[in-house]
Amino acid sequence: MSITHLVTHSGGFHADELLSSVVLTRIFPQAELRRSRERQWLVPSPDRIIFDVGGDFNAGSQIFDHHQRPGPLRDDGQPFSSFGLIWAQYGRTYLAAMDVPARDIEAIHAAFDKKFVLPVDLLDNGAVEPSAAGPFSNLSLPALFASLKPVFDDPSPTADDDAFFAALPIARVFVEAFIRDLAATARAQSIVLEAIAKAGASPILELPMGMPYRSALDQSQANHLLFVVHPRGDDWTLNGIKLSDETFDQRADLPAAWAGLSDEALEEVSGVKGAKFCHNARFIAVASSREAILQMAELAVNAYR
């Protein structure tokens, strides 16, 4: 029997059922998304998926709640929200619907679960305090979704539903963009690994275009690489390599004398014809040609050493 209804609770909403709805409505676009607490809708049936409501978790019966005691836990003991339950059950199907290549589905499913789903699960269950994000606590994805709820004195009897369905396409944009980024990283992997092999012992990695390279860099353990160069439009860029995704600190900074300079001033200080710009923070520089950017890269390497 085909799925005709996707059922979650009415009233106020949270990130977990909103994001679950993003996944399920992509897989079952013809199904009606119904928000209700009426008992008749919370009884499992082959033609419906019930999530974040119903007081039970049974994947075989297509009911995915996490509010019961004890609630469902991951293998490592961390709690699921409805989003985590839906992702575990339907995430691979969702990725296929997003045209992710079959060879990449398992890796992207796991990466999205770790980087996107788990934080939502933990916040929804109170397993981490929002204050853990410090001054960015009001800018977390769940907090931003919460800001889309109706104000307390909205007189409309459909205010909650209206807000939920207005928030749904916004949530979809975030999920799909994150998935596209993970898929792009997977596509770039072989290109970057080939470029790393071609670089050999050189501290300069040349790529054919701007692309995600961190994952391949970590995989290859190419710790000798200090800078990355690649074309960007009519120009070429020279980038430092961050020590990790959790910091702005780099393996090597661009020369201090270049900081904040552009055009003639940068050409004069660097001695490179075609040097166009260096950021004041010394993590990126731009030149008008490949020859010029490689000269700047060599100078940066020598300055570091």
| pLDDT in the model for residue 244 | 87
- Percentage with pLDDT > 70 across the chain: 100
Residue type, 33: L
| HEC profile of 44-56 | CCCCEEEECCCCC
pLDDT score, position 82 = 98
Tens digit of each residue's pLDDT (9 = 90 or more) over 79-120: 999 999 999 999 999 999 999 999 999 999 999 999 999 999
In which residue are the tokens 């019930």 written? 50
At residue 62, the pLDDT reads 98
Beta strand 235-240 with 284-287 is antiparallel
Which pair of structure tokens corresponds to residue 131?
């204050």
**Which residues share a beta bridge with 58?**
63
Tokens of 243: 């020590």
Q: What six digits make up the tokens of 205? A: 């990695």
Q: What pLDDT was estimated at residue 245? A: 83
In order, the DSSP letters of 227-242 are: EEEEEETTEEEEEE-B
Instruction: Please say if the pLDDT value at position 133 is more than 90.
Output: no
For position 1, what pLDDT does the model report?
64
pTM: 0.89
Averaged over 17-42, what is the pLDDT? 97
Average pLDDT, integer, range 194-213 = 96
Q: Is the dihedral of CA 3, 171, 117, 43 positive or negative?
A: negative
pLDDT digit string, tens, across residues 225-251: 999 999 999 999 999 999 988 889 999
Residues 6+ apart with CB under 8 A from 77: none
Calculated CA dihedral for residues 111, 114, 117, 121, nearest 10 degrees: 170
Q: Phi-psi bin for 70: left (phi > 0), alpha (psi -120 to 50), beta?
A: beta
Sign of CA dihedral 252, 258, 260, 263: negative
Structure-model confidence comparison of residues 131 and 21, the more confident one: 21
- Please provide the average confidence, as pLDDT, over all residues in the chain: 96
Helices (H) and strands (E) in the chain, counts: 9, 10
Among residues 143, 144, 145, 148, the alpha carbon closest in space to that of 130 is found at 143
pLDDT digits (tens, 9 = 90+) for 38-71: 999 999 999 999 999 999 999 999 999 999 999 9
Residues 264-293 pLDDT 10s: 999 999 999 999 999 999 999 999 999 999
Say which residues have a Cβ less than 8 Å from residue 119's Cβ, sequence separation at least 6: 128, 140, 141
pLDDT value of position 64: 98
* The pLDDT value given to residue 283: 96
